[in-house]
Structure 1
Amino acid sequence: MLQTAIEMEKAALLLKLLGDKTRLTMLKILQNQACCVCEFVEIFKTSQPSISQHLRKLRDLGLVLEERKGQWIFYSINKSNEYYPFIEQILNQLPNQEDKIKELEEQGNRITCC
């Protein structure tokens, strides 16, 4: 599959954004399913404002989409983003993160906001 090259500036910006382990892990998780902030708070054991900041940075570049369901906002990876093929190649090299979601389900925290 032939892909067009992206500009060096944009590649550097994307790689800098993905250079953060939390954001990189978030995108890997979102590659297979949508999650809400409260689920990421549980997964990463960090504050809601911190998680929201990470998601804002991903959203600002159009890498994630938001969908409101009642009072909750669910995030998913934006596979129609022009840079998704570039990011997908990186994500495909990373280990599966399904264990984090399975752990949430086992703790009963997967459904707390749905």
Structure 2
Amino acid sequence: MNDWKGRVTVEELTEVADNLKLLGDITRLTMLSLLQEREWCVCEFVEIFDISQPAISQHLRKLRAQGIVKESKRGQWVHYSLNVEDKPYIQAVLGQMPDSKTILSRLNKKLIISVCE
């Protein structure tokens, strides 16, 4: 990605706009905020957000398609981690988000310990 001090192409601006649109969804923004501290399994996100596994997977699919998260499969479970080293504008947004303990508390959830290993 361009360092933004030189010329920025329309394609680069379009990519940034598309990526920031993904962060406009509270579920995806919360997922990314949680992913700042560690990788998470789909099953953990189902528990946290109280939505179906297919809905969680759809959110993660969109993030993965833009290269914002990466996945690793472990048996039947898929774990996700943050992949924004080349996206300083996303890092800046996530830098303003609360830590996972605060997020989970606000969602009335206890610290999730992975049961899918």
Is residue 38–residue 113 contact of structure 1 (8 Å, CA) maintained in 2?
A: yes
For residues 54-73 of structure 1, the aligned pairs below 5 Å read 54-73=59-78
Superposed CA RMSD: 1.9
- Pair 1:38-2:43 in alignment: yes
- Pair 1:14-2:19 in alignment: yes
Q: Secondary structure at the match of 1:74?
A: strand
Indicate the percent of aligned positions where both proteins have the same amino acid: 51
Aligned length: 106
Describe the superposition over 1:59-82 as per-residue Cα deviations: whole angstroms up to 9, x where unpaired: 0011111111122110000144x2
CA distance in 2 between counterparts of 1:41 and 1:76 reads: 16
Q: Which amino acid aligns with 1:103?
A: K
CA distance in 2 between counterparts of 1:96 and 1:112 reads: 22
Name stretches of at least 5 consecutive residues in structure 1 with no aligned partner: none
Is residue 84–residue 90 contact of structure 2 (8 Å, CA) maintained in 1?
A: no
Return the index of the structure with the highest Cα Rg: 2
Q: Secondary structure at the match of 2:110?
A: helix
Aligned to 2:3: 4
Aligned to 2:110: 103
Name stretches of at least 5 consecutive residues in structure 2 with no aligned partner: none
TM-score where L is the length of structure 1: 0.83
